[in-house]
Amino acid sequence: MDLLERVQYETPGPDEKLALDAAALAGHILLESGAEIFRVEETIKRVANAYGMEGEGAFVLSSGIFLTEESHKHGFYANVKHIPLSGVHLDKVAAVNQLSREIENGMHTPEEALKKLNEIKHMPEKPKIAEILATGVGSGCFCYLFGGSLFDSMTSFFVGCILSVFLGVMGKRKKRTSKIVLNITSGMLVTALSILFYLCKIGDNLNHIVIGGIIPLLPGVAFTNAIRDIASEDYISGTVRMVDVILVAFSIAMGVGVMYTLFSRMVGGIVLW
């Protein structure tokens, strides 16, 4: 059978298209919420299989999904999407995972699945104040773990809170802030605040306050995912994420270093600590 003939009578039915849309959307949510590559591929395949399609044509990178389906029965389907990471939302990963298993057990029609996925996609955010306090508590606790006194931890808590506010403001900007600039300035801000608090005699040891302050900036999620991608032989995505990790870590160190240098130059080389 030649190609023209095939194209003519194999238009995908509405249900097949919806089902594949649902599979693609499930993958989309997972990828942008910080799931590993193999989980995204697995989920797309699981959803597609549940609706009687193969789902073998899914190719997932750390920044995009390519999904095609071609068979004698269902015709052609192609879906290519660029998906930037929009912030870690592990609750969405859990919810999509749960939903995909329900779909596998035949509990949802494609329309229902799409509706549910859209609900998951627009899950309510945590209130801003909770985020700010959590960043502060994280900073304080980790300052204590890395050898700070309770007084240091308290200072670190405030530094973390202010850092969170700063990150929130930068996130609201219309033009997307470059990751390198954002991490360097955040590192600088943490260091500057810590020095300021320290000079006002709030806190015992400057080093520990800064360590606590930079902890929320660390790319822990990207690091873990990079490892797991490389371990499951998704080398392209793993490498990209690892480069991201190294870049962010380097930027933070740079921000801290720049601020220290600036400050010691300003006060004329007096040792601060």
Residue 28 or 74 having the CB closest to other proteins: 28
Nearest to other proteins of 19, 167 (CB atom): 167
What is the secondary structure of 9-48 as a DSSP string?
H-PPPHHHHHHHHHHHHHHHHHHHTT--HHHHHHHHHHHH
Of 130, 129, 153, the residue nearest 142 (C-alpha)? 153
CB 170 → other proteins: shortest distance, Å?
A: 16
Interface ranges with other proteins (CB under 8 A): 34-36, 39, 88-94, 97-98, 126, 130-131, 134-135, 137-138, 140-142, 144-146, 207, 210-211, 214-216, 218, 220-221, 223-225, 227-228, 231, 249, 252-254, 256-257, 260-261
Rounded distance between C-alpha atoms, residue 41 and residue 21, angstroms: 14
Q: How far is the CB of 60 from other proteins (least distance, A)?
A: 15
Q: In angstroms, what is the minimal distance from the CB of 206 to other proteins?
A: 10
Asked if 29 contacts 117 with a C-beta cutoff of 8 angstroms, the reply is: yes
> What strand order describes the sheet that includes 75-82?
58-61, 64-71, 75-82
Q: Which residues of 75-105 are buried (b: 16+ CB within 10 A; e: fewer)?
A: bebebeeebebeebbeebbebbbebbeebee
Q: Least distance to other proteins from the beta carbon of 95, Å?
A: 8
In angstroms, rounded to a whole number, what is the distance separating the alpha carbons of residues 28 and 23? Answer: 9
Q: Compute the least distance from the CB of residue 137 to other proteins, in Å.
A: 4
Q: How far apart, in whole angstroms, are the C-alpha atoms of residue 84 and residue 267? A: 43
Token match 């600039």: residue? 181
Using the minimum distance from each CB to other proteins, give the nearer residue, 202 or 258.
258
For other proteins, the closer of residues 54 and 91 by Cβ is 91
Tokens 């220290």: give the residue.
260
Nearer to other proteins, 88 or 114 (CB): 88
Minimum CB separation of residue 146 from other proteins in Å reads 5
Q: Cβ closer to other proteins: 114 or 221?
A: 221
Q: Which is nearer to other proteins, 24 or 211 (CB)?
A: 211
Residue 208 to residue 26: CA distance in whole angstroms = 42
**CA–CA separation, 234 vs 216, rounded Å?**
27
Write down the least CB distance from residue 230 to other proteins, Å. 8
